[in-house]
Structure 1
Amino acid sequence: MTKLPKNFPEYSLLYKNLNKKITDLQKQQRMTDDELIIKEIQSKIKAYQKEMNRIKDLFPEGFFKDKF
């Protein structure tokens, strides 16, 4: 088995929180018609996804696949 990162519990929790935040933002995005708000939400989602990808790269392949 591949080694887990040194601070893996914190990274795992952060990944879970980012995933939840993205889900919440996607719901907000579907509920609004204001283009400015939609662009702002999309920007936040993109930043959160970038951070999630960075965290995912620290873990063995497939670690988060079945968890969230």
Structure 2
Amino acid sequence: MKDIPKRFPEYSIMHKTILNQIKKLEKEDGSFEVQNKIKMYTLELKNIEDMFPENFFEKEN
């Protein structure tokens, strides 16, 4: 099991902020530019999740 990163509070806030930004972008028109932003945010979200123990962040539907 992985340990929680030293900068846990910062990463936790970043995770929530990025997740909210993805939700906001998904409500937009779906242009190529918006899709690229969503893809970029999703990759960053995965990087943050990989730093934490498995199932640390609850998956929202």
Normalising by the residue count of structure 2, what TM-score does the alignment of the two structures yield? 0.89
Larger RCO: 1 or 2 (CA < 8 Å, sep 6+): 2
Count of residues paired in the alignment = 61
> What secondary structure does 1:14 align onto?
helix
TM-score w.r.t. length of structure 1: 0.80
Structure 1: any 5+ residue segments left out of the alignment?
A: 31-37
Which structure 2 residue ranges, 5 or more long, are not aligned? none
What pairs up with 1:18-57 in 2 under 5 angstroms?
A: 18-29=18-29, 38-57=31-50
More helix by share: 1
TM superposition outliers: structure 1 runs of 4+ over 3 Å:
none
Provide the rounded CA distance (Å) in 1 between the counterparts of 2:7 and 2:59.
20
| Structure having the higher Rg | 1
